[in-house]
Structure 1
Amino acid sequence: MKVEKKDHDHNHENDENRDWISHWPLLMALLILVVMLTLTYGFNFKLNYLLELVVFVIAYLLAGYNVIKLAVRKALHLDFFNEFFLMTVATVGAFAIGSYSEGVAVMVFYSIGEWFQDAAVANAKRNIKALLDIRPDIVTVVRDGKTLSTHPSQVKINEIIQIKPGEKVALDGMLISAKGTFNTAAITGESIPDTKLKGSMILAGMINLNSLTEVKVQSLFQDSKLSKILEMVQDATARKSQTQLFISRFAKVYTPIVFLLALMLVILPFFFSANYSFQDWFYRSLVFLVISCPCALVVSIPLGYFGGIGLASNNGILFKGANFMDVMTQVDMVVMDKTGTLTKGVFNVQKVVPHLLPEEEFLLLVAALESKSTHPIAIAITKYAGKFLPDVKILAVEEEAGHGLKGIINGKSVLVGNASLFHKLNIAYDPIVDDEVDTVVLVSVDQQYAGYLTIADEVKTDAAKTIAALHKMNISTMMLSGDKEIVVAKVARLLGIGEAFGALLPEDKVRKVTDLKAMGRRIAFVGDGVNDAPVIALADVGIAMGGMGSDTTIETADVVIQNDQPFKLVTAIRVARLTKKVVWQNIALAMGVKVLVLLLGAGGLATLWEAVIADVGVALLAILNAVRIQKMKLPE
């Protein structure tokens, strides 16, 4: 692993060296400007007119070649209202009135500002990528009783891979060793060691902390959760927020207005001033053009969102776009699923009550059918009944969304589900079932009631803390669950949730959220199961629990919480609010300074030097303010 980091650092160092080399013309222009200013003001030495012009033109072209080239290219496409054309006009104008040093200074410092901005954006993107792109290039696979090293993309599903102590897991799979301890920070944002037992899912990016472990591969390299997470974060930087889109539209309107005002600043005083001086008012209009450049806004805002996405990723939260950060700041109600979201989703069978059938046969039929589902309740029943599971013939398994499963087991029609499903199919069951406080799974065989099981789940340790924090942020809470009303009411009461509704099908959840949105509420919905995908897609912000969540739900969601901790929802809102605060700080800073210097320039109280220093200075301050987001520590 040290070798990989060394290579990465070496490549990063090479990139920085190349960056300096590629900017040698700009650095040369800066050197010429400093020398000329030192000769003029330090030693009171002045070159003859023609030589001075040649030296400053060389410096100007060295500093502004790329800017001028872009300005000309855009002008040929009739695009005159952009910062490149604006800077070119302002600097050529400075030369036209004999202000050579100022014209060069404007171009040099503008180009330096652009360099810093480009470097900051590239660094933000690189940091986001480096945060997650930690997939190993080599994996040890066991083939024909021998171990060999290969690239993870060459490993197939169901092959066995070995992970040595201190090594990163390259592929998602099931642990087949007795147990293993892993650092899960790459996936969850938490570095606390996590001990996994045989049969547990191990995800790419985790680090094996102690003994040699073996994992049976469950997904291809490109389909691993870490690969998908990396893809999501890379895509996120391309999705613009409403603020970014507004500023882009604003810049397109703002720039032509600035050109018009600069032109009016030259022309209108002719009609009102007795001592009109074209050169004086033309100079003022140049100051006006320089300070009005919108680059500080255009660059620092996306940079702020990059920082926010990076900070969220560092805390185990994935925003799939800057636009979802904006919406997250507007959320006034969080609606949550229960199982796997607020509760651990790790169920244990509490009671087995067969009717007419022996317990062993009852469990065999139920577990055989439930073995075809990945629902936490199904997993609990299958695990509990493992000793009763010889080879059985399973046919025609179908899922009743939000209800249960049905199928043919050893020639018998078996139905496993909730009370709603039994009511729907008119299958009578023992009324005592309705008095059970725990979750109940009803069973019928050949259309006859055959008994039930009770399942108990455990509330997540940070669930109550999450609800309290949301209420403190003036965000209402609601729980929607497919579980029965008595169980849902118990959990809601325990956690302090505002409203709770149970016995809901996926379409019922959709209807509830639709009604809330019609009332003007801004909804974030948090869920993890396939049945939550429709309502996650409907919500203003759909949030998926990425650890236990289904692939469909994760792909549908706008935000993914990687470690299934409910409190990460509070963290996500805090990150979004912090990011928006920093972005608006940058907007206020840039606009405030620009308006002030614009007024001073129009009044003849600011020079081109002050204009360029103010412009570049504001841009750099905005950049520094934006990049600090990713390094911030959030309160627990």
Structure 2
Amino acid sequence: MENTDHKDIGKKLNNEEVHKADQHAAGEHRHDHDEEDETLNLTEAPEEAESWLSHWPLLTALLILVIMLTLEYGFKYQPDFPVNLIVFLIAFGLSGYNVLGMAWRKAKHFDFFNEFFLMSVATIGAFSIGSYSEGVAVMVFYSIGEWFQDAAVNRAKKSIKALLDIRPDKVTVIRNGQSSEVDPKTVQLNEIIQVKAGEKVALDGELYSNAASFNTAALTGESKPDTKRKGEKVLAGMINLDRVSEVQVKALFKDSKLSQILEMVQDATARKSQTQLFISRFAKIYTPIVFALALLVCFAPYFFVDTYNFHQWFYRALVFLVISCPCALVVSIPLGYFGGIGLASRNGILFKGSNFLDVMTKINTVIMDKTGTLTKGVFKVQQVKTVSLSSEELMQMAAAIEASSTHPIAKAVVEYAGHKLEDLKAENVEEISGHGLKGTINGKTVLAGNAKLLKKFSIAYPGEVDNLVDTVVVLAVDNQYAGYITIADEIKEDAKEAIERMHSLKLQTVMLSGDKQAVVEKVAKSLGIDEAYGDLLPDGKVAKVQGFKDAGSRIAFVGDGVNDAPVVALADAGIAMGGLGSDATIETADIVIQNDQPSKITTAIRIGNITSRVVWQNITIAMLVKVIVLVLGAGGVANLWEAVIADVGVALLAILNAVRIQRIKL
């Protein structure tokens, strides 16, 4: 049916404005016809599961139906006509008052092609021909099916909300030397907050204390402790493990990483997959056709059957209408995608929409950045070689000029120099994009960067520099080559396993990097990557990715730096490393890996495949059963009992299959 306002998962999960009369049995958690909000609301508290007693009208109707059927078939006793009709009318009203009400409200908007109107016509029609018990049974079992559907959706909502919504309601802030508990939303930038042992960090910031250990499982999926030093980034949602610590706030409550995660998941349900969009388009055509066929089943035989009996063919048309209700499709498909998003969240992966679950099933090429994606992005100085200066003097100069840069290589140089940096200060430092830095130290012009920087200024240097495999920082003082520093980055522990998994899935692997080709080839060879390209500026990466797309590849690009944002946006599926990644890349990406593990790339692909498989299982089962019973109903073989059992049974089977996604362990 065309009833996305009734069945859409986002709407089921965001039901604050639902009319009270629609909060029981078949109509609970429903929206009015004009409501169009399709966003999953995770920022509000989840509803508590409704007790069985809250469904007393439906349960009473079920009890009446069981008693009447027992009397009729067990004791061969059927009350007289008025009593029989009144009892069944009471059961019908208790089980279907909200369905009938919703059908009437939609009819007032000239919306007749929906399951409420369909069920109302079918059950009232059954009463009109004296099939009281069957009319009540259709409404009762339909309402029970809706009850189970709502329970499945609420469970899916709570599983994700419990995983993500862990922001504290209170935070201890230090103001004027006094600590006080306040709402995190009121804390301003650069204020100091106090986090006790066992408490969750409420806001993003930098550690103000000397050191502290945190559990980062809420953000990364990894429960092992992460030790932070003074000045290092601490994120909302982390749990302080050992001692009272202080954090200087660097982001407002609404801008915290955890708030962004919640927003990503909330927005995800509004982005429908192609399968969901197909079902919506299909429903617009399907529903009028079903009504037309039901009319044909009822009246067409009049012209072809000599012994035409209106009562008989009208009954068959009612059966046809009941079994045509696409509950299994309308509910289980979005619930399946929602389950996929929940499964990914529990594994530290954030899909920004169900459409990206589908995209990941079509990927055949994975292109990755090197630094921060396959390597840790934590550089260490390996060797210092000089010509005219001492090693200490060279390091001091290099650290002084690199101090103004946030690049991981610059940080490695500064860290290695340590306290010696205090002796020198660089002035007039300027960045030469893709080459390095230029500045003045004690009146001397200092260049620090790659070999291309020295070539740019026509400064001669030894040929051995070009043959070095590790990353190298070459220095020149007053246009004279002064020496070089080699720096190496460590490959992530699971990088090789990640590449092996990709190859097992028949995926082509490619690495792009701004680092020099020798370094890139060394890393690629150790990991078994198919193709590797180095010496690439940001526009070079874009050109390479576009080249693969033009060749027909379906690409997932994985990166973490600001310069990766354009490529992430260009790829079919842009994947950002969310732990160390830049905000720009995370914002641009379609998928975010929270723990920075490259092995999660194939996990994301597996989750997409699992979700797609379950969704198509539901589509196949539902359509197959419906076609069979529709034919049987039109032919007079299936009755209303069999129609409603087939309809509700298939719907429940599809829902259970969809819910199963959330329980899968990867």
**Structure 1 and Structure 2 fold alike (TM over 0.5):** yes
1:582 counterpart = 2:635: no
Deviation at 1:80, TM superposition (A): 2.2
1:622 counterpart = 2:628: no
Deviation at 1:377, TM superposition (A): 1.4
For residues 313-356 of structure 1, the C-alpha deviation after alignment (integer angstroms, 9 at most, x for no partner) is 11111111110010001100100000111111110012334566
Residue number among 559, 566, 570 corresponding to 1:527 in the alignment: 559
**1: distance between equivalents of 2:319 and 2:285?**
20
Alignment map for 1:139-538 (pairs within 5 Å): 139-354=171-386, 362-390=394-422, 399-406=431-438, 415-424=447-456, 426=458, 428-444=460-476, 449-538=481-570
Q: Which runs of 5+ in 1 are unaligned?
A: 1-7
Deviation at 1:51, TM superposition (A): 3.2
Deviation at 1:380, TM superposition (A): 1.3
Deviation at 1:88, TM superposition (A): 1.7
Residue 383 of structure 2 aligns to a residue whose secondary structure is strand
Deviation at 1:547, TM superposition (A): 0.8
**1: distance between equivalents of 2:182 and 2:475?**
48
1:15 counterpart = 2:65: no
1:70 counterpart = 2:141: no
Match of 2:630 in 1: 598
**2: distance between equivalents of 1:154 and 1:411?**
48
Deviation at 1:64, TM superposition (A): 2.1
The one-letter amino acid of 1:245's match is L
**2: distance between equivalents of 1:122 and 1:392?**
62
Pick which of 59-68 and 289-298 moved more: 59-68
Deviation at 1:409, TM superposition (A): 6.3
The one-letter amino acid of 2:215's match is N
Match of 2:586 in 1: 554
Match of 2:16 in 1: none
Deviation at 1:178, TM superposition (A): 3.8
Q: 1:438 to 1:308 in 2, by over 3 A?
A: same
Q: Which runs of 5+ in 2 are unaligned?
A: 1-41
Residue 347 of structure 1 aligns to a residue whose secondary structure is strand
Q: 1:597 to 1:384 in 2, by over 3 A?
A: same
Deviation at 1:358, TM superposition (A): 6.0
Question: Is 1:297–1:586's contact at 8 Å kept on the other side of the alignment?
Answer: yes
**2: distance between equivalents of 1:405 and 1:586?**
59
**1: distance between equivalents of 2:184 and 2:235?**
13
**2: distance between equivalents of 1:353 and 1:411?**
23
Q: 1:211 to 1:78 in 2, by over 3 A?
A: same
Deviation at 1:399, TM superposition (A): 4.8
Question: Is 1:90–1:290's contact at 8 Å kept on the other side of the alignment?
Answer: yes
Q: 1:549 to 1:405 in 2, by over 3 A?
A: farther
**1: distance between equivalents of 2:62 and 2:307?**
37
Question: Is 1:401–1:531's contact at 8 Å kept on the other side of the alignment?
Answer: no
Pick which of 592-601 and 58-67 moved more: 58-67
**2: distance between equivalents of 1:258 and 1:224?**
50
The one-letter amino acid of 1:27's match is L
1:36 counterpart = 2:92: no
Q: 1:41 to 1:510 in 2, by over 3 A?
A: same
Deviation at 1:366, TM superposition (A): 3.5
Pick which of 361-370 and 602-611 moved more: 361-370
The one-letter amino acid of 1:549's match is G
Question: Is 1:116–1:620's contact at 8 Å kept on the other side of the alignment?
Answer: yes
For residues 576-612 of structure 1, the C-alpha deviation after alignment (integer angstroms, 9 at most, x for no partner) is 1111111111111211211121122122111111111
For residues 74-128 of structure 1, the C-alpha deviation after alignment (integer angstroms, 9 at most, x for no partner) is 3333332222222122112212211122112111211221222122223212221
The one-letter amino acid of 1:172's match is D
Residue 507 of structure 1 aligns to a residue whose secondary structure is helix
1:52 counterpart = 2:52: no
**1: distance between equivalents of 2:439 and 2:348?**
39
1:135 counterpart = 2:171: no
Match of 1:5 in 2: none
**2: distance between equivalents of 1:571 and 1:60?**
49
Q: 1:254 to 1:409 in 2, by over 3 A?
A: farther
Match of 1:4 in 2: none
Deviation at 1:615, TM superposition (A): 0.8
1:115 counterpart = 2:125: no
Residue 161 of structure 1 aligns to a residue whose secondary structure is strand
Question: Is 1:401–1:506's contact at 8 Å kept on the other side of the alignment?
Answer: no
**2: distance between equivalents of 1:212 and 1:286?**
69
Deviation at 1:406, TM superposition (A): 4.8
**1: distance between equivalents of 2:286 and 2:453?**
61
The one-letter amino acid of 2:610's match is L
Residue 434 of structure 1 aligns to a residue whose secondary structure is helix
Residue 390 of structure 1 aligns to a residue whose secondary structure is helix
Deviation at 1:423, TM superposition (A): 4.2
Alignment map for 1:86-97 (pairs within 5 Å): 86-97=118-129
For residues 415-441 of structure 1, the C-alpha deviation after alignment (integer angstroms, 9 at most, x for no partner) is 543334554565554433101110012
Deviation at 1:190, TM superposition (A): 1.6
Residue 366 of structure 2 aligns to a residue whose secondary structure is strand
**1: distance between equivalents of 2:158 and 2:276?**
20
Match of 1:613 in 2: 645
**1: distance between equivalents of 2:430 and 2:107?**
63
Tell me the TM-score normalized by structure 1: 0.92
Match of 1:633 in 2: 665
The one-letter amino acid of 1:500's match is A
Residue 344 of structure 1 aligns to a residue whose secondary structure is strand
**1: distance between equivalents of 2:109 and 2:427?**
66
Residue 181 of structure 2 aligns to a residue whose secondary structure is strand
Question: Is 1:157–1:217's contact at 8 Å kept on the other side of the alignment?
Answer: yes
Q: 1:542 to 1:353 in 2, by over 3 A?
A: same
Residue number among 566, 569, 577 corresponding to 2:601 in the alignment: 569
Pick which of 194-203 and 180-189 moved more: 194-203
Q: 1:117 to 1:336 in 2, by over 3 A?
A: same
Deviation at 1:175, TM superposition (A): 2.7
Residue 378 of structure 2 aligns to a residue whose secondary structure is coil
For residues 505-546 of structure 1, the C-alpha deviation after alignment (integer angstroms, 9 at most, x for no partner) is 111111111111111110000010001000000000000111
Deviation at 1:40, TM superposition (A): 2.5
The one-letter amino acid of 1:296's match is A
Q: 1:79 to 1:470 in 2, by over 3 A?
A: same
Q: 1:52 to 1:529 in 2, by over 3 A?
A: same
The one-letter amino acid of 1:147's match is S
Number of matched residues? 623
Q: 1:492 to 1:105 in 2, by over 3 A?
A: same
**2: distance between equivalents of 1:625 and 1:97?**
37
Pick which of 409-418 and 183-192 moved more: 409-418
Residue 604 of structure 2 aligns to a residue whose secondary structure is helix
Deviation at 1:162, TM superposition (A): 2.7
